[in-house]
Homo-oligomer: A and B are copies of this chain.
Amino acid sequence: MGVDWGIDSPLSLKLKRLGAQADDLDILLRALKRRVRVSAQDDVIREADTAAQVRILLAGTACSYKRQKDGGRSILSFQHSGDFCDLHRYIVPDLDAAIGIRALTDCIVAVIDHRDMDGLLSRPTLASAFWRASMFEAAVYRERLSRTGRGTALERVAHLLCEQLARREAVGVHASRLPFSQIDLADATGLSVVHVNRTIQTLRGLKMLSKARQAIEVVDRKQLEEIAGFDGRYLNLPANASKFAVRIEETGD
């Protein structure tokens, strides 16, 4: 793989914004020796996977999904570089075992055995950072919940795209092209594939997306955020970089 996953990696950026300290990062990065490649369209975590491991997406894009009883697929969230895949199963092993995670691009995944997590969490600042990560994950769910089933298809799709752009940017992935198929967008928004296609074409007509086929490429992000009513304050964005530093000193950790 030959890439240095050191101090400037997406994971490091993310953890620093969550209040982790320099030596926390050293320890964590040392625990990430085991890495796995996953090809696009393969599962990072199969449904009903019970391995006692925490997987962290070091590079690439993935989505967590759940099968519906009608056979359909429901995408719950997207994972970008630096995101945890299944931290919740360390805390609550059986929780949401029916959820799988699929790679949308080729991915590099770090694996930590649950028993090694105990050591990591003995460091209070690292434990806090992990808890905060969970909280921000929940905030993403809340935001999606307040949007889904409401507003027009145009707003829903636009908001989804804005969120992913902002989250990717926050970990240093500055690309206007998003690796989602229209099927992915349909499963994530709850819209039909046909209607997503028409919505995408509308957005292209409004010159917010490029006309390139086989790709979702945002060309007018500002206007996209406008019609989406996007406000990224529920995300842990770089502007808030040192937000937790003061708190940590105050609490005397």
Q: Which listed residue, B66, B128, B144, touches A91 by the CB 8 Å rule?
A: B128
Contact with B along A116-144 (1 / 0, CB 8 A): 00100000000110011011111101101
Q: Which listed residue, B128, B234, B247, touches A96 by the CB 8 Å rule?
A: B234
For the complex, what is the distance from the CA of A240 to the CA of B132, rounded to whole Å?
26
- Describe A's contact surface by its main secondary structure: helix
Residues on the B chain within 8 Å of A69, using CB = 229
Q: Which listed residue, B94, B118, B142, B251, touches A141 by the CB 8 Å rule?
A: B142
For the complex, what is the distance from the CA of A114 to the CA of B67, rounded to whole Å?
40
Which residues 194-249 of A have a CB within 8 angstroms of B? Answer: 229, 233-234, 236, 240, 243-244, 247
Q: Which listed residue, B88, B99, B142, B190, touches A150 by the CB 8 Å rule?
A: B190
Residues on the B chain within 8 Å of A233, using CB = 94, 97
Q: For this complex, into which size category does the number of interface residues on chain A fall?
A: 35 or more
Q: List the number of copies, as a whole number.
A: 2
Across the interface, do B139 and A72 meet the contact criterion of CB distance under 8 Å?
no
Contact with B along A55-75 (1 / 0, CB 8 A): 000000000001011001010
Q: Is A81 an interface residue (CB 8 A)?
A: no
Which residues 75-116 of A have a CB within 8 angstroms of B? Answer: 76, 88, 91-97, 99
Q: Quick one: given A118-B251, A142-B99, are A92 and B150 in contact (CB under 8 Å)? A: no
Q: Is A149 an interface residue (CB 8 A)?
A: yes
Q: Is A175 an interface residue (CB 8 A)?
A: no
Q: Quick one: given A131-B131, A149-B148, are A139 and B91 in contact (CB under 8 Å)? A: no
Question: Could you tell me which A residues sit within 8 Å of B by CB distance?
Answer: 66, 68-69, 72, 74, 76, 88, 91-97, 99, 118, 127-128, 131-132, 134-139, 141-142, 144-146, 148-150, 189-191, 229, 233-234, 236, 240, 243-244, 247, 251
Residue pairs across A and B with Cβ atoms less than 8 A apart, 26 shown, are A66-B146, A68-B150, A74-B146, A74-B150, A76-B146, A91-B128, A91-B132, A92-B132, A92-B136, A92-B236, A94-B240, A95-B135, A95-B139, A95-B234, A96-B142, A97-B233, A99-B142, A127-B127, A131-B134, A134-B134, A137-B138, A141-B145, A145-B145, A148-B190, A149-B189, A149-B191
